[in-house]
Amino acid sequence: MITLTIAQIVHALSGEPFLAGGDTLATTVSGAVDTDSRLIGPGDVFVAKPGEHTDGHLFVPTVAEAGAALAIVEHPVDAQITQIVVADVVTALADLARENVAGVRAHGRLQIVGITGSNGKTTTKNMLARILEDEGETVSPRASFNNEVGAPLTMLRVGDGTRYLVSEFGASAPGEIARLAGLVEPDFGVVLMVGLAHAGGFGGIEATFHAKSELVRALRPGGLAVLNADDPRVAAMAPIADERGVSVRWFGRGEGADVRAGEIEVTATGTSTTVTVDGVEHALRLRVLGAHHVMNALAAIATATALGVDAAAAVARLETLELAERWRMQPLGTDRIRIINDAYNASPDSMAAALRTLAQITRPGERTVAVLGAMSELGEFAEEEHDRVGLLAVRLGIQRIVVVGADARRMFLEAISQGSWDGEAVFFATADEAFDYLQGELRDGDRVLVKSSNAAGLRFLGDRLGESVS
Maximum pairwise Cα distance, the chain: 75
**Of 247, 249, 272, 246, nearest to 259 (Cα)?**
249
Cα dihedral sign, 19-25-31-32: positive
DSSP 168-231: E---SSTTHHHHHHHTT--SEEEE----STTHHHHTSHHHHHHHHTHHHHHSPTT-EEEEETT-
Residues with Cβ < 8 Å from 223, sequence gap 6 or more? 186, 187, 188, 189, 244, 246, 247
Contact 249, 226 (CB under 8 A): yes
With CA atoms as reference, report the closest residue to 434 among 343, 353, 346: 343
Q: Is 121 annotated as a binding residue?
A: yes
Helices (H), 60-149: 60-65, 89-107, 121-132
Question: CB 102: neighbour CB atoms within 10 A?
Answer: 15
Give the span between the Cα atoms of 148 and 94, in whole angstroms.
Answer: 8
Check whether 154 is labelled as a binding-site residue: no
Does 122 count as an annotated binding residue? Answer: yes
Q: What SS3 class is residue 359? A: helix
| CA–CA dist 22, 379 (Å, integer) | 53
From 348, 215, 346, 357, select the one nearest 294 (Cα to Cα).
357
Task: Name the strand (E) or helix (H) holding 453.
Answer: none
Q: Please, which residues have CB within 8 angstroms of residue 147's CB and are 6 or more apart in sequence?
A: 170, 171, 176, 180
List, in sequence order, every residue forming a beta bridge with 370; answer none if it has no partner.
401, 449
The whole-angstrom separation of Cα 46 and Cα 15 is: 15
Cα 26 to the chain's mean position, in Å? 38
Cα–Cα dist 87/22, whole Å: 25
Q: What does the chain come to in residues?
A: 470
Query: Is there a binding annotation on residue 146?
Result: no
CA-wise closest residue to 341 among 437, 470, 440: 470
Separation between Cα atoms, residue 116 and residue 121, nearest integer Å = 6
54 is in an annotated binding site: no
What whole-number distance in Å separates Cα of residue 61 and Cα of residue 161? 32
Amino acid (1-letter code) at residue 7 = A
Q: Residues forming the annotated binding site? A: 117-123
Q: Known binding site for ATP: residues?
A: 117-123
